[in-house]
């Protein structure tokens, strides 16, 4: 952590830190003797990946927090081609519940998945987020955002809101 004199400079550190910690969480493997199951640190990884998407969306798209998640369809960033219902599910059943209540909604699954898995799918009325794919897609979106962070942030409505605080 460093002292920053601009929001773009701070974002270049904070978002990269969040990404790296999310990556470490996904790469960690739980010992079933201790945890009673296999897996990774999926909940904190998902919270961090959703926070990155939320942050990028706040500067690129603006609007309310739900609108920030439209970044998941933005062709220059996540480009997931999801319908509105799917983005609503991601926002309400994953992001909001994990962030505010440390749980997922019923019929929702977090899975490590693999690099070729989709980020999100619905099958038999159960929704899935695959963390390895989400991490991979977030890396692309984050790199794109950081390439243009100065102009994107300085031209955003979000910056004006931050400066009021």
Domain coordinates in residue numbering, the chain: 7-163
Which pLDDT score is estimated for 22? 98
Report angle CA 16, 19, 22 to the nearest 5 degrees: 150
Task: Tell me the per-residue pLDDT of 126-160, one tens digit each, with 9 for 90 and over.
Answer: 999 999 999 999 999 999 999 999 999 999 999 88
Task: Tell me the per-residue pLDDT of 2-18, one tens digit each, with 9 for 90 and over.
Answer: 786 788 988 999 999 99
Task: Tell me the per-residue pLDDT of 72-118, one tens digit each, with 9 for 90 and over.
Answer: 999 999 999 999 999 999 999 999 999 999 999 999 999 999 878 99
Band of residue 37 on the pLDDT scale cut at 50, 70, 90: confident
Compute the average pLDDT of residues 30-43.
92
Which pLDDT score is estimated for 114? 84
Band of residue 164 on the pLDDT scale cut at 50, 70, 90: confident
Compute the average pLDDT of residues 39-46.
96
Which pLDDT score is estimated for 72? 98
| Separation of alpha carbons 55 and 4, rounded Å | 18
Is the whole model's pTM more than 0.75, yes or no?
yes
Which pLDDT score is estimated for 1? 64
- Helices of type H across 29-109: 32-35, 42-60, 65-68, 84-89, 97-101
Report angle CA 119, 98, 65 to the nearest 5 degrees: 80
Which pLDDT score is estimated for 159? 85
Q: Phi and psi at residue 54, in whole multiples of 5°? A: -60, -45
Counted residue by residue, the chain has a size of 165
| Separation of alpha carbons 4 and 23, rounded Å | 24
């Amino acid at each position: 952590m460093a002292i920053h004199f601009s929001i773009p400079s701070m974002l270049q550190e904070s978002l990269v830190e969040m990404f790296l910690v999310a990556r470490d969480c996904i790469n960690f493997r739980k010992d079933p003797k201790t945890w009673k199951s296999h897996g990774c640190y999926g909940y904190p990884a998902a919270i961090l990946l959703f926070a990155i998407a939320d942050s990028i969306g706040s500067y690129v798209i603006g609007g309310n927090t739900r609108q920030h998640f439209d970044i998941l369809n933005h062709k220059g960033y996540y480009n997931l081609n999801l319908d509105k219902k799917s983005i609503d599910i991601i926002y309400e059943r994953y992001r909001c519940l994990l962030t505010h209540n440390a749980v997922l909604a019923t019929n929702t699954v977090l899975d490590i998945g693999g690099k070729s898995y989709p980020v999100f799918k619905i099958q038999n009325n159960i929704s899935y987020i695959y963390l390895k794919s989400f991490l991979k897609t977030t890396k692309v979106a984050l790199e794109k955002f950081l390439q243009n962070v100065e102009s994107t942030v300085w031209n955003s409505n979000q910056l004006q809101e931050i400066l009021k605080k």
